Amino acid sequence: MHVVIATDSFGDTLTATEAAEAIAVGWRDVSADDELVLRPLSDGGPGFIATLASAMEGRLLDVSVSDPLGRPVRAKLLLAGTTTYVESAQACGLHLLTEEERDPLTTTSYGVGQQLLAAVEAGARRVVVGLGGSATNDAGAGMLTAVGLRLLDGQGSALPYGGGPLIALERIAGWPALRGVELVAAGDVDNPLVGPHGASMVFGPQKGADSDAVHRLDAALGHWARIVERDVPGAPSGLAQLPGGGAAGGLGAALLALGASRQPGLQTVMRLVGLAAVLDRADLVLTGEGSFDWQSLRGKVPGGVAAAAAERAVPCLVLAGQVAVGRREQAAAGVDAAYSMVEDAGSLAAAIREPAPTLSSLARRVAREWSRR
């Protein structure tokens, strides 16, 4: 059999590449004659750069930027001709903080602006920014500050970092030092910046915001959007409600304000790694991520892979840390079956204690069921 393994990362436990390799190890234990093709994927969030670098020509540039709390952290940019790829999560990702450090009222996207400046200095004419997995909810205010804009309060003082202080924003001065580079926001979140489906309401709680903080952030981001529309030349009208503005804690809205276009993150990665060509030859497709839930079917890797497999009438299986999608919904999305590491290991603690061996064990069970079908 020709088996394609196209996985996302499994939360903080396994990268997309590690997950694909763990599945391959288990599968080969059962059916060594099957031809396995590994295509780790990302929807623009964590793993975006590693996924692209493993499948396309380019040069990695290592840079020092600020994490969500202003501490130095290393980030990698992928330079491919005149296009540079940036993974925003490497600067403002949730994985960079402990649970105790999570506070979207104060965390900043400043490091993402440093990534953009590094890309410009490296000669990029086009910068594709992968969005997702952020610890921030500052509407990209930190990023705007890093590239040269000044966010000022009523006394003309610079605002502190974070989403909370944006409620005191009175005006924006300066000009972005990006030398006219073309910006592309690559992500699959279509949520607007504010409102019941906005960045704060939907994603704020997982970043450490309680109910009071969520409402404070939503009001602050709405106020920020009005000032940006007024003071940033070229910022689109209706910024607070534009699709994708809520991506990465509002970083999407900041990029749109700078003139960025939008691209689906997963579809961009699938195209760049040549997934279509390997799916055309597949007899079976395996995909997965940490938690297979309703969000997985809306622009995430398992949903996108399953749809692509269904177009080719190829069976698609999901191997995930946890499964919270019913069989009817799975079938409607093109998933033939879904398997849970937690169920296989007996508990969540057991599953994450040794994630790679646990995933390999699950792959062995799935291979015994499917390899010779």
> Nearest 5°: phi and psi at 13?
-95, -40
Residue 78 above 90 pLDDT?
Answer: yes
| Average pLDDT of the segment spanning 324-334 | 91
Give 253-321 as a DSSP string. Answer: HHHHHTT-EEE-HHHHHHHHTTHHHHHTT-SEEEEE-SEESGGGGTTSHHHHHHHHHHHTT--EEEEES
Structure tokens at 68: 């969500």
Per residue in 262-314, pLDDT tens?
Answer: 999 999 999 999 999 999 999 999 999 999 888 787 778 999 999 999 999 99
Q: What percent of the chain has pLDDT over 70?
A: 100
Mean pLDDT of 130-145: 97
- Using the structure block, give the residue that is written with the tokens 């809306």: 298
Per-residue model confidence (pLDDT) at position 55? 87
pLDDT score recorded for residue 189: 86
* pLDDT in the model for residue 373: 59
Given the structure tokens 């994490």, which residue do they identify? 67
DSSP one-letter code for 165? G
For residues 179-196, give the mean pLDDT. Answer: 95
Q: What is the tens place of the pLDDT at every residue in 97-137?
A: 999 999 999 999 999 999 999 999 999 999 999 999 999 99
At residue 307, the pLDDT reads 95
Q: CA 7 to CA 228: how far, in whole Å?
A: 38
DSSP state of 369: H
**Can you list the domains of the chain with their CATH numbers?**
2-41+274-370 (3.40.50.10350), 48-265 (3.90.1510.10)
Using H for helix, E for strand and C for coil, what is the string for 15-70? CHHHHHHHHHHHHHHHCCCCEEEECCCCCCCCCHHHHHHCCCCCEEEEEEEECCCC
Residue-wise pLDDT for 27-60, tens only, equals: 999 999 999 999 999 999 999 999 999 888 999 9
Q: In the prediction, which pLDDT does 135 show? A: 97
pTM over 0.85: yes
Name the β-bridge partners of 317: 286, 337
